[in-house]
Structure 1
Amino acid sequence: MPKEPEISLTEKTFVLEALKQNLRVDGRDLQSFRDIQLTFGDDYGFVDVRLGKTRVLARISAEVTRPRPDRQFEGMFTITTEMGPMASPAFEVGRPTELDHTLSRLLEKSIRRSNALDVESLCIVTAQRVWSLRADVHFLSHDGNLIDVACIAVITALAHFRLPVVTVSGEDITIHPVEERVPVPLSLLHWPICVTFSFFGEDEDGEMICALDATAQEEALRVGDMTITINKNGEVCQIAKSGGVAVEAEVLMRCARLAAEKVKGVDKMIVDALREDEVQRNKGNLDWLKEGKSENER
């Protein structure tokens, strides 16, 4: 199986010594994210997210199907991930890696199991027809911190997506095209955002060296990591810490407070990007959109 090029001893020594002095190769301090860029596609629910050189695409699709027998009032929502050699030579098509399984599990816990999406709102006719949503996540470039970028991509795509309006008359179900009825946004209860911390052992004062948004080079040198999923209200959705160096309770609490602070900025950035995209799509005139929503409600 192909592997990433190994880091030389000189590079390793340089990076670790810089981290001990609160410095990083790309000029950031330990508590800073790289610049985040959001680009929307022509269709609703298609988002391209870049964090430094890391790039992830997310696309939301929907179809009408029958509900699960034990969930007759709820629609369905699934997340699939795809990693290939385009993102990194360590990834192969059709051969999931341990990182692939970890990312899928974290996205599942962070977004689906935290009830970010109101699945009951996806029900069309109880026990007969519901919407089934699917989020396809494609990793195009890997330069570290894939989970945070993937989480931002899925949440943004869900917030950007629009469902066609459905009319039920007896046993007949009519799905109206976009040209006929203005599609409606999904019902999102909250926006969970992942924030991943990387640990590099202790510095000269015995304090744990902890860095946000590690690059691929830094990830290869870290001795542990922890992902905290939290929303803008400070509600922790999940904490994932699997192996690596032990983390004291004090360090964990400090990371949680920092994550809550960072998520507020990410949340605002997503809101601003969505608003700007909506204005551009409607050429600065939202009157027709408001009229369409009122008509849908009637």
Structure 2
Amino acid sequence: MEQRLANSWNMTLNEKNFIETALLSDLRIDGRRPFDYRRLTIKFGREDGSSEVQLGQTHVMGFVTAQLVQPYKDRPNEGSLAIFTEFSPMADPSFETGRPGESAVELGRIIDRGLRESRAIDTESLCVLAGKLVWSIRIDLHILDNGGNLVDAANVAALAALLTFKRPECSLGGEDGQELTVHPPEVIDPTHAEETIMKGRMTATINTNGDICAIQKGGGVGVMHSVVMQCLRVASVKAADITTKIKEAVESYNTERAYRKVKRHPSAAGHQTER
């Protein structure tokens, strides 16, 4: 990326000398010390698998998606990972639309290698049907503003998006055991028909204060800790909504009951006897 940066910054000799002199004195032109990071903020979108990272003036968004594909012949039991980077011209005048340039390709390779070598994704766990179907994970990184150090900002965006992504669950059935069913990542308030295909369930009892009173898990399917916590967060929101509806229904019932009592017991003024 050095060539791209050289093209972007047409610095004078005096400016370069000033920066070099400051660095030799353990100072930087923005006031930081040599090992100080700029402010890092990480946000998440409403959908799982989306992130927004800002490192100083550098702004990157990450999105993770997955689809079922045929595995590579030499790795029939492993899924795949692909990194795609998009450099917006609004982020830097040197970025061009259309075909990814050398900088975009290099950035994608750096992120890809880091994730693979660190084994951030267990590719074997992405196998659904050996030799036939595996999950292909795709990470899209959108560079919205280039304020320097794209590698770190993009890497954080990729990891943050991955940590909030949940691929759909699959099950095999049918007479030959090869019939694939892809289940939604989460189902609330299942119908009777949906209950017939459930391999497990979890019930959480939460009071009006949001306290977890009880948890009951049924079925033989294991549940990861992250999934349990996600379900509890959803249950807390739903419990508050349902509690509100119950209170409204009770209030409506009490109002109607009080009205019926008034009709059964007319006021004394309506039954006065003449003397």
Normalised TM-score (structure 2): 0.64
Alignment of 1:1-298 (within 5 A): 3-169=7-173, 170-180=177-187, 296-297=221-222
Shift of 1:21: 1.1
1:220-264 per-residue CA deviation (whole Å, 9 max, x = no partner) reads xxxxxxxxxxxxxxxxxxxxxxxxxxxxxxxxxxxxxxxxxxxxx
Q: Is the 8 A contact 1:19 1:30 kept in 2?
A: yes
Relative to 1, partners in 2 of residues 1:22 and 1:63: Cα closer, same or farther, differing over 3 Å?
A: same
C-alpha distance in structure 1 between counterparts of 2:211 and 2:130, whole Å:
34
Shift of 1:88: 0.3
Relative to 1, partners in 2 of residues 1:291 and 1:147: Cα closer, same or farther, differing over 3 Å?
A: farther
Q: Is the 8 A contact 1:62 1:132 kept in 2?
A: yes
Higher helix fraction: Structure 1 or Structure 2?
2
1:177-227 per-residue CA deviation (whole Å, 9 max, x = no partner) reads 13427xxxxxxxxxxxxxxxxxxxxxxxxxxxxxxxxxxxxxxxxxxxxxx
Q: What's the counterpart of residue 256 of structure 2?
A: none
The share of aligned pairs that are identical, in percent, is 37
C-alpha distance in structure 2 between counterparts of 1:37 and 1:178, whole Å:
28
Shift of 1:28: 0.7
Relative to 1, partners in 2 of residues 1:103 and 1:179: Cα closer, same or farther, differing over 3 Å?
A: closer
C-alpha distance in structure 1 between counterparts of 2:126 and 2:216, whole Å:
23
1:38-95 per-residue CA deviation (whole Å, 9 max, x = no partner) reads 0100111101111000011110001112211111111111111111202100010124
Paired residues in the alignment total 196
Q: What's the counterpart of residue 231 of structure 2?
A: none
Shift of 1:116: 2.3
C-alpha distance in structure 1 between counterparts of 2:34 and 2:164, whole Å:
31
Shift of 1:108: 2.2
Shift of 1:294: 7.8
Q: Is the 8 A contact 1:165 1:296 kept in 2?
A: no
> What root-mean-square deviation, in Å, do the aligned CA atoms of Structure 1 and Structure 2 show?
2.9
Q: What's the counterpart of residue 255 of structure 2?
A: none
Normalised TM-score (structure 1): 0.59
Q: Return 5+ residue gaps in structure 2 as ranges.
A: 189-208, 224-275
C-alpha distance in structure 1 between counterparts of 2:98 and 2:107, whole Å:
16
Residue identity matched to 1:55 = H
SS, match of residue 16 in structure 1 = helix
Relative to 1, partners in 2 of residues 1:24 and 1:159: Cα closer, same or farther, differing over 3 Å?
A: same
C-alpha distance in structure 2 between counterparts of 1:12 and 1:52, whole Å:
21
Shift of 1:138: 0.9
C-alpha distance in structure 2 between counterparts of 1:125 and 1:59, whole Å:
26
C-alpha distance in structure 2 between counterparts of 1:96 and 1:128, whole Å:
31
Relative to 1, partners in 2 of residues 1:291 and 1:117: Cα closer, same or farther, differing over 3 Å?
A: farther
C-alpha distance in structure 1 between counterparts of 2:145 and 2:154, whole Å:
12
Q: Return 5+ residue gaps in structure 1 as ranges.
A: 182-283
